[in-house]
Chain A
Amino acid sequence: MISLAGRDIRHEWGKYVFTGIGLGLLIGVTLTMAGVYRGMVDDGKALLDNSGAELWVVQKETLGPYAEPSSLNDDAYRSILAVQGVAQAANVTYLTMQVRSAERDVRAMVVGIASGEAGTPGWPPYLVAGRQITRSHYEAVADVASGFALGDRVRIRRNFYTVVGLTRRMVSSGGDPMVFIPLKDAQEAQFLKDNDAVLQSRRRTSENPAFNRAGVPGLLDAVITSQSRNPYVNAVLVRLRPGYASDDVAESIERWQRLTVYTRPEMEGILIGKLIATSAKQIGMFLVILAIVSAAIVAFIIYTMTLGKIREIAVLKLIGTRNRTIASMIMQQALGLGLIGFAVGKIAASFWAPFFPKYVLLIPGDTIAGFFAVVVICMLASLIAIRAALRVDPADAIGG
């Protein structure tokens, strides 16, 4: 038996292919939306992977440092180092801000990393160009997505930093590229105000009789000094000694240091389950709407094509064609449209994904799921047309 659907498609291939391309662009958008979500999840995982930490010690009862503000004293790491099972502990600060280079502003996550050497928690694990930070001040390592180049001078708050190294896939959960600077500089950047504000603050403090007592020399200077430095960090990143379970060490730190500690799975849960949950729902809604629109388009096109062949269908039925042959013809056409659309959509998504400002991750699993979704949608969409075709009375082929 010949393929009626194949012949019909071949007969009207122009209409069919152009409709498939239109549908394909819609499917491409759908695949891209899924890729945006995967990119967000991957960014979050990359953030955790690249931190090099196994535990995140944060301010008690906060979801810091990525999902909520967290602040703990910068000497807390010393006592954490003393906890059994801890191999390395390093302070880290995170601050999302505009970083300026020449006339350009780049939204970036500025990461303050503790002094040490490559491999210290918080440090970029690898570089694609240049070197790691070796000086205590005014050097930076930037992610290539920032657009900065080696030797560029970037401004963070009041200070300029020289880009000495470039890294890759070091992004915040929001997809902003990271710029690593020395911890002391980062603490200052978080806290440091402009000169006018500093003067105003000092004047206000000196006019406060509680701090400026005639009988207590040195009090005012001590207060002003304490006000002009930032002794806080956002988190302490911890790496464990071999053979220690992260849950056990986390429990020890929480019990003895009165801090909150997250393990890797917990932190992943916070990032994916809380930080990007709303975005995921948003994207999920888009996917549902796009799926419905795709189904509606396929249904409409196939229904219209079927209505255009009502007389031929009546003749086919009159001359003895089985209903299932006619239903199969319509379903095959819907599936053919879906396959063309899927192929076009996959190619389109792969083509335009690199141009998106945020990371779009097209994974084979989503492609396969998308393929089966398209198949199911096309099959469902063809049901309306099949119903219309099966209701055609073969008597309609006979006049009168």
Chain B
Amino acid sequence: MTESPGSSASRVVTAPAPRVRAIRLRGLIRKEFLQVVRDPSSIAIAFFLPVLLLVLFGYGVSLNAKHVPLAVVAEKPDSLTAGLTASFRHSSFFDLSVYSTMSEAEQALRAHQVQAIVRLRENMAQAFTSQDGAPIQVIVNGSDANTARLILGYIQESIAIWLEHLERAGRVVLPIPVRIEPRIWFNPEVESRHFLVPGLIAVIMTLIGALLTALVMAREWERGTLEALMVTPVTIQEILLGKLLPYFLLGTGGLALSVAMAIWLFQVPFRGSFGVLAGTGALFLLVALGMGLLISVVARNQFIASQVAILATFLPAFILSGFIFDLKSMPAPIQVLTYGVAARYFVEILQTLFLAGTVWDLILPNAMTLVIMALLFLGLSRWKFRKRLD
């Protein structure tokens, strides 16, 4: 409509030359960038959010319990109980308090002052030398079952160290027919941060990708500027591409920053190839941005788009991605659901690239799924968008 009548440019509407298309796209991208700069919350989402979250979680999230408050009740203190108490005291896993009666210790357990009680009974010394051996009662606060199991493991370890000590001193014979020699691959120090930080990058990028694009279309619908855009000769693809590219660049910056922090700040070993990381990272970003774009196109309203973004991105990526909870242990119907969570594929890729190396057999299927998901989300956005135009 704006072109002068009779000029060849009027036919551009139906079959634009590549050069014209490039100019239009550049215009759209420029417009989007200006919007980003005017409301700096997008820049904050891309750069400030990953730094904040990685620092908080990288330092905050740990499954390695240390300094567990432990009560020992020695009902009749002697050299035997003193030896065991010393073994607990030397362990860095425990902060020890010694009680003389069970009721005091139980009081402390109820008031959350201690997590577990080790009870050494009066007749411990006699039972120790008998055929059956001495039972050592351990009461643990089982509310947090996972931590309770870890604590029980530490207690067992301390007792084993004490018994071996006694054996070396010749005070007991210790029949241990079969010992276990554990070899923990990829993460020999069993540092939980080394698996949590790569997973976190996937969770954070899910958030950022969706946050960046979830509102962009809805905002234009609400303000009526999208209709203004539609009467111009730009095509739907160009509008979507113009929305996607600037945020893709921002997201790439955020991803690069997160990886750099994981390697240099948190000292997570990186054993894979950076090329593969860059490729799969870009792919995942497309999926995350595509999801946000779809939310935006469908919701058409910033308020609802925001609510959907909060509900559909963070919690599923946190709980259903294998980032912290083991996928194979979930019931079958839930496992089926996890296949729809894009973060699960990227979590596996990241954990493998960081800790194990470039294992193609694992990376290829995950990357292929990401390709399919990217096409699905972007295709759906395109389709839903067209329907609205009619």
* A and B interact: no
> A: which residues have CB within 8 A of B?
none
